[in-house]
Amino acid sequence: MGKTYKYDGQWWDLRDNADYAEVTRRAAAKAAVLRGEDVAPVAAVGPSAPAPKTGNGHSAPANPEAAQRLAEALAYVSTYSGTWGLPLDIRSDPRFGTKWMRLSDRQVDALLAGKARDLARLDAARLATELYAADEYAAHVARQAQAPAAAPKAWRPAAKVEQDGMYLTPDGTVYKVQQAKVGGSGRLYAKRLVVEDGTGTFVYAPGEMSRLDASMRMTLEQAQVYGRLYGVCVRCGSPLTDEVSIANGIGPVCGAKGWAD
């Protein structure tokens, strides 16, 4: 389609929302007349002035509520930093940021739903942080505050980890501490839980035993909060799929084994 189109003896810019709507209205009215229908006469007006633009240069809908939703959706697209295809595709469109960019109602609805979903995830992450053993974390902060300000020292665990099990650091990282079986040394080593695409994997974390304190040993309540937040069993890393496991925040097999705090 070209930039302009001659209709009713006038030139129209069909990439402009207002011009496009006017040409469509006139064509529909003429078609109705040819069918013998009684329609109101088409006003003899020229091409419309450009529609008001949003902050990103897009043509704004005449409906104020629709215009506000469109502006909110475009702002979300502009700042989106995830991997969801819809906002990334829209932002990569050469028309993005110009008046030629149009979004359908379904696209706007999907973008605003995605924004609400992202905000809900942030709220859940904040809640999980607040639920983390507050008294233990406060004690850790107090120990750091007691270090001489002029000569700060590297953090050292107040109580060395001597038991295998699950541990949760103040920054929310989960570790599984195990005994080495190779060579029969029996020494403890740590694996870090990495969650990707709804599945957890334990990755060997050399040297990170020094990050752990015996007070960081996870409680069952902390394991359940983590499981509900990320959708995986914190003990084995398997996805939580059935409703009971999701509600409990831990898988049925691991839950049946009991939890030693």
In the chain the beta strands, taken as DSSP E runs, fall at: 4-7, 10-13, 165-168, 174-179, 188-196, 199-204
Mean pLDDT of 203-217: 85
The two three-digit tokens of residue 143, written as one number: 């120990």
Report CA-CA distances (Å) from 5 to 52, 64, 127, 245: 22, 29, 57, 61
Two structure tokens written together for 116: 């609400």
pLDDT tens-place string over residues 162-174: 888 888 888 888 8
Quick one: which of 38, 36, 14, 41 has its CA closest to 26? 41
| Alpha helix stretches (DSSP H) within 80-219 | 85-92, 105-131, 134-145
Q: What is the mean pLDDT of the chain?
A: 76
189 touches 209 (CB < 8 A): yes
**Token pair recorded at residue 66:** 């629709």
pLDDT (0 to 100) of residue 146: 75
Percentage of the chain lying above the pLDDT 70 cut? 69
pLDDT of residue 56: 45
Query: Secondary structure of the chain: what % helix, strand, coil (to 5)?
Result: 45, 15, 40
36-75 tens-digit pLDDT? 666 555 454 455 444 444 444 444 555 788 888 888 989 8
1 pLDDT band (50/70/90 cuts)? very low
Provide mean pLDDT across the span 226-234: 84
Residue 132 above 80 pLDDT?
no
